[in-house]
Amino acid sequence: MEKIELEAKQREEVGKHLNKIRKLGLIPAVVYGKKIKPLSIAVDRKIFVKNILESDSGMNAIISLKLEGKSKDIPVLTHEVQRNNLTDEILHVDFRHIVMDEALKTKVPVELTGIPIGVKESGGVLVHGLREVEVECLPGNIPDKFEIDVAVLKINDSFHVSDLPKIAKVKVLTNPSEMIANCSPPTKEEEVAAPVPTPGEVPSEVGVAEAVADDKVKEKAAPGAAPGKAAGPAKAEAPAAAKAPTAAKAEKK
């Protein structure tokens, strides 16, 4: 386990006044633990990021806080880093005081290596499940990470917490059945079904042609004619006046 020294100084500022500290390139922080009173401190931002967060151990690196004006270092772990949601700027850090001969619980990252055979040969998709697991051990035994080689995974094969490599003096507390990695089958493009025409809609080209023809018939129909029937030559009817003389002759006879 990597041990890193980090200089710190006590601070009095709280609340809105913390912005003054941040403008000086410092990060407001707090040290807490069972055997120590909460201690408000500030640490250099660049050094914290470079030596702690970007180290192999990351947040599991054991830090020896060298407090300004104090002769004894304080062993701590980085418990939480608070950031600005928009700028990702580090706003605050919580350090947890540790006792080197007392076991503690912490989380260790899981790193996948290799490319599954199911991805190479069958077009599968590698799904990374849990990215960290909880462990219990002495501070000096905290592993930097768990590595697991997924190259042997075929389609529908999985690795679980129970498959993680065993590390001496480190007890894994996460449920053994939790999934770490899975090689899923390739995704298929779904066929889009043709829309079902609703009543009143024209379902086909034939229907369109019939509708157009019907409109033309309506345009040619005589005024007052029934829809759909073409206007034809009207049958001539004898005028009523022409029939009148015949009727008169019959009466004289």
pLDDT tens per residue across all 253 residues of the chain? 567 999 999 988 677 778 888 999 999 999 999 888 999 999 999 999 999 999 988 889 999 999 988 888 999 999 999 999 999 999 999 999 999 999 999 999 999 999 999 999 999 999 999 999 999 999 999 999 999 999 999 999 999 999 999 999 999 999 999 999 999 999 876 555 566 665 555 455 545 455 545 555 454 444 554 444 444 444 444 444 444 444 444 444 4
CATH code of the domain covering residue 20:
2.40.240.10
- E-assigned strands of the chain? 3-10, 26-33, 36-44, 62-67, 74-83, 90-97, 104-113, 125-128, 132-137, 146-149, 158-160, 171-172, 179-184
Burial annotation 47-61 (CB, 10 A radius, 16+ → b, else e): ebeebbeeeebebbb
On whether both 81 and 164 belong to a single domain, the answer is: no
CATH code of the domain covering residue 123:
2.170.120.20
Q: Of 184, 206, 227, at which residue does a domain stop?
A: 184
On whether both 150 and 86 belong to a single domain, the answer is: no
Please report whether residue 22 resides in a domain. Answer: yes
On whether both 41 and 72 belong to a single domain, the answer is: yes
pLDDT at position 84: 92
On whether both 95 and 110 belong to a single domain, the answer is: no
On whether both 124 and 92 belong to a single domain, the answer is: no
- In degrees, rounded to 5, the angle at the alpha carbon of residue 230 between the alpha carbons of residues 229 and 234 is 110
Q: How many domains does the chain have?
A: 2
| Domain carrying residue 88 | 3-99
On whether both 109 and 94 belong to a single domain, the answer is: no
